[in-house]
Structure 1
Amino acid sequence: MDCNKTKFRLAASIKNLMGEMSLDKIIVKDIVAGCGLTRQTFYRNFRDKYDLVNWYFEKLVQQSFEEMGVSLTLREGLTKKFQFIREEKVFFTCAFGSSDYNSLVKYDYEYILKFYRNILQEKFNKPLEEDVEFLLQMYCQGSIQMTVDWVKTGMKFEPEKMADLLIQALPKKLNSLLYFLEM
């Protein structure tokens, strides 16, 4: 069986379970039972259930981030991310509810920090200055927390509004460095 098909089957199974219970209570046995696969197959593809959740998250948002600064502006890429999150409301509500050391909150932070860091390092062809790194870490932490709050409180703002608010929250220095993403 194709590796990606297997991974998506496992993701579909965990998504179904997330509609019934918290992520921290789901066990691998339940995941594989829900899709007719074996524990061995699960562990050939993922370290644990959090690895599966993080993989699925990456598949959902990867395209919007890869297109950011190429065919999508920063606003368009963020809007697309929030649309994915809204479309997968049950998944994200459950995933963001986990406080495990390997949680989606931590993974999302690392993912977007790496994304922005790489864009800036490629643009300026050098490592980030300490103050820019600090601002970037602070901004990414804040944007993830606001995303989690948005999900947990019922996603009251439209995805476009969330994108606008996150862009408005960019520290001045970061905003000027990332301005090219808005063109």
Structure 2
Amino acid sequence: MGRQLETRMRFVETLGVLMRTCPLEKVKVSHLCKALGVSRATFYEHFHDIFDVAVWYWDYLMEQSLYRIGADLSCYEAHFQKFKLLRENKEFFDNAFKSDDYNSVCEHGGRAMDRIMIERAVERNGHSLTEEQLLLVEFFKTGAQYMTRDWVRGGMGPSPQVMAELFYSSMPSFLVRLLDGNADSQNR
């Protein structure tokens, strides 16, 4: 693990501890730095604000799973890996998903997936998506975004496999065809 990644992970771990007793939006950079024993300057070398820590960790995990949808993971496998990683980091994301503002993990994840799915679909399609297709992607993304949040906040009851199957079966069929057509995957 590189030095920068190691430092970022220390911030994530410490934020996870602080969120056990204080909501994410109430955690101050100064509290995080004090708990970690580093300066505010060190924090700002790695993150913009306290929300950026949670969002960065989300992106870090999604780059190993969901953000690979249609690249080297099928739609099913990308979702399965996402749910598996979230379950492995249950406490952190249970606390991080309690924040619902524009900078939240939930909102950021939705915006990122919308962009990734549309970019990959357009690339595979060879031309822009129709207005109806864009609307279908928006419906799916919005549902997926809030269902993921609710699954996390609700205790992560259904297994990652069950959740991946539900998400896969809920995706617009044209999107599955476009994204899975080039995915080098073992499932679906």
TM-score, normalised relative to structure 1: 0.91
**Range with bigger deviation, 133-142 or 69-78:** 69-78
- Quick one: which amino acid aligns to residue 36 of structure 2? C
Q: Contact (CA 8 Å) 2:124, 2:179: kept in 1 or not? A: no
Q: Is 2:161 aligned against 1:144?
A: no
Q: Aligned partners of 1:54, 1:154: CA distance in 2, in Å? A: 20
Q: Aligned partners of 2:91, 2:51: CA distance in 1, in Å? A: 16
Bigger share in helix: 1
Query: What is the total number of aligned residue pairs between the two structures?
Result: 183
Q: Is 2:112 aligned against 1:111?
A: yes
Q: Aligned partners of 1:176, 1:72: CA distance in 2, in Å? A: 13
Q: Aligned partners of 2:17, 2:157: CA distance in 1, in Å? A: 24
Q: Equivalent residue for 2:163?
A: 162
Deviation at 1:53, TM superposition (A): 0.8
SS in 2 for 1:63: coil
Q: Contact (CA 8 Å) 1:89, 1:151: kept in 2 or not? A: yes
Q: Aligned partners of 1:151, 1:65: CA distance in 2, in Å? A: 16
Q: Which has the higher contact order (CA 8 A, sep 6+)?
A: 2
Q: Aligned partners of 1:175, 1:88: CA distance in 2, in Å? A: 28
TM-score, normalised relative to structure 2: 0.88
Identical-residue share of aligned pairs (%): 31
Q: Equivalent residue for 1:60?
A: 61
Cα-to-partner distance string for 1:2-28 (whole Å, 9 max, x where unaligned): 322221111111111122221122111
**Unaligned stretches of 5+ in structure 1?**
none
Q: Is 2:44 aligned against 1:50?
A: no
Q: Aligned partners of 1:107, 1:77: CA distance in 2, in Å? A: 18
Q: Equivalent residue for 2:19?
A: 18
Compute the RMSD of aligned alpha carbons. 1.9
Q: Aligned partners of 1:76, 1:167: CA distance in 2, in Å? A: 9
Q: Aligned partners of 1:153, 1:178: CA distance in 2, in Å? A: 29
- Quick one: which amino acid aligns to residue 150 of structure 1? W
